[in-house]
Amino acid sequence: MVKLEKAYETELRHPPGYSLTDTGRLYSFGWMYDGSLVKIELCSGSVAVLRETNNTIIVEVFAEKGQRCWEDMIGKIQWMMGLNEDIDDYRKRARDDPLVGGVVETLPGLRLRSCSIWYAVLVAVCQQNASFRQGWGMLYKLHLLASRRLRTPYGLYLETPRPDKLSYHVLREARLGYRARTVMELARRRVEELDCSSVDVIREVHGIGAYSHALTKLLACRDYSSLPLDRWLKRLAAEAYRVPEPSASSELARRFGKWKGLAALHTTVGFDAEPLRRALERLRRGENKPGKTEPSPLSLWRYTPPEP
């Protein structure tokens, strides 16, 4: 376990209508959000803790002794948290939509919390051919097995598993199965050194198809034009818009334009990432607002403590 020291504190303006709580709890483990505080990994051995107070967001940075990489990341926190992001055009398109209308109505201050390319591609690989519980269960188990424990005054933070510390044994113990080979190849190719201008090279890795590539760009680069279209979303979109399944992608593009990737993400939120059969039943009943079942993308943090 590594004890972090307070290295910096600053304040950010709280944009009108923005919700740090909703943004912070979306697809978060228990060390990323605890019901009040949002914690984000800035770089190796450095964690920022965010909290709301009046019209500001207080940011405290805690770092490993001698670690200064956080200095290059301070200016990127607003972008990472979507603080000044204008999604009004998306909201207009999404209002009353059968897939995402419930999300923009009930969570108007929700934004995407971005992450590193390495972490985004780990998420994407774990989601391949897996349910919400299976995919995030794999990643949670991987954290428990392979993460460094960083101690802050606000509790433990489980650092993103480092590529050079992974092995087939650890990945298989985390139940990644065939996905282990893909993760090891990503690690061998030093994917953690990529940025959003070079992220497309992950397509060269066996096991990274269109879905994983698009989801990585969405989560790491805020590229909302990237549509992670899997069987689940394709079937729901076909049902919602009354089009053949092969036309689901083009219909999502027609309705949401450059925001189609964000619509895909919000569909998982609105239907609590339920299995397809249940999601279809909810769609037919018009139940597209989150909170019908748990765990869900908004409540994952409750079920994934850093010390199980």
Residue 168 placed within a domain: yes
pTM: 0.97
121 and 80, same structural domain?
A: no
Residue 141 lies in a domain: yes
Separation of alpha carbons 16 and 259, rounded Å: 21
Alpha-carbon distance 62 to 65, whole Å?
9
Q: Do residue 137 and residue 215 come from a single domain?
A: yes
Let me know if residue 241 belongs to a domain.
Answer: no
Domain at 185, CATH number? 1.10.340.30
Residue whose tokens read 């450059």: 258
Neighbours of 100 (CB within 10 A): 29
CB atoms within 10 A of CB 187: 20
Residue 208 lies in a domain: yes
| Cα–Cα distances in angstroms (integers) from residue 81 to residues 17, 22, 114, 216, in the given order | 14, 11, 7, 16
Q: What are phi and psi of 22, to 5 degrees?
A: -65, -40
Strand-pairing partners, residue 12, are 57
Name 165's Cβ contacts closer than 8 Å, sequence gap at least 6.
146
According to DSSP, the residues that pair with 61 across neighbouring strands are: 8, 48
Within a domain: 93: no
Predicted local distance difference test score (pLDDT) of residue 110: 99
Residues 26 and 79 in one domain: yes
3-state secondary structure of 86: coil
Do residues 208 and 124 share a domain? yes
Q: Which pLDDT score is estimated for 242?
A: 99
CA angle 281, 284, 290 (to 5 degrees): 70
Neighbouring C-beta atoms of residue 117, cutoff 10 Å = 23
- Structure tokens belonging to residue 104: 């923009």
In the chain, the number of structural domains is 2
**Domain membership flag for residue 248:** no
Distance in angstroms between the alpha carbons of the first and the last residue of the chain: 16
275 belongs to a structural domain: no
Mean pLDDT in runs of 10 for the chain (308 residues)?
98 96 98 98 98 95 96 98 97 98 98 98 98 98 98 98 97 98 98 97 98 99 99 99 99 99 99 99 98 98 95
3-state SS track over 242-289: CCCHHHHHHHHHHHHHHHHHHHHHHHHHHCCCCCHHHHHHHHHHCCCC
Q: Which amino acid is at 267?
A: T
Q: Is 188 found in the same domain as 130? A: yes
Residue span of the structural domain in which 140 resides: 117-148+156-223
pLDDT (0 to 100) of residue 54 = 83
Whether 98 maps to a domain, the answer reads no
User: Which of 42, 112, 86, 141 has the alpha carbon at shortest distance from 268?
Assistant: 112
pLDDT in tens, 256-284: 999 999 999 999 999 999 999 999 999 99
57, containing H or E segment:
strand 56-63
Q: Please tell me whether residues 15 and 75 are part of one structural domain.
A: yes
- Of 179, 206, 223, the residue that ends a domain is 223
**Cβ–Cβ under 8 Å, residues 218 and 225:** no
